[in-house]
Amino acid sequence: MPKRMLIDAARPEETRVVVADGAQLEDYDVALASRPQIRGNIYLAKVVRVEASLQAAFVDYGHEKHGFLSFTEIHPDYFQIPVADREAIVARDSELARQEAEADELDDDDPEDLDAADTGEELSADSGEDDEDQIAEGDNRSERPRRR
């Protein structure tokens, strides 16, 4: 059977389109003048959220609701990071690594940390005696009240 497309544009406020295969209706669409058609058009959009479980992405194309794109509808070239962005990411990561290395070097070279580390054992041994003296004098505020 031949397919036919029937268009009813008798009213200026709406247009109806029907695709029929013989006597069987295959597609029916109504376009209203008061509501612009957004389905089936091509838009420039920004990916807002990727849903891996749905294998789809929600995109913002400038209308009140976000669009929905299946991964199969997205060309594989768009999954690649642009060269300029990739270079910026690599430069940022190398700068962060350099800053962390400098911070580690500064921490290792700090003489106050070395003195505290060397005398740490002596302080802990002495601190026990000082605590006993403070407890005896009643100056230790961090002591918990004893329950009997």
Residues forming a β-bridge with 56: 51, 70
Between CA 69 and CA 32, with CA 43 as vertex, the angle to 5 degrees is: 95
Kindly report, residue by residue over 17-34, the tens digit of the pLDDT.
999 998 899 999 888 888
pLDDT at 110: 57
List beta partners, residue 27. 19
Write down the residue that tokens 């695709």 correspond to.
19
Give the burial string for 108-127 (b: 16+ CB within 10 Å, else e).
Answer: eeeeeeeeeeeeeeeeeeee
Bridge partners (DSSP) listed for residue 46? 60
pLDDT above 70: percentage of residues in the chain: 70
Lowest mean pLDDT among 34-38, 102-106, 126-130: 126-130
pTM value?
Answer: 0.33
pLDDT in tens, 71-98: 888 777 776 777 888 899 899 999 999 9
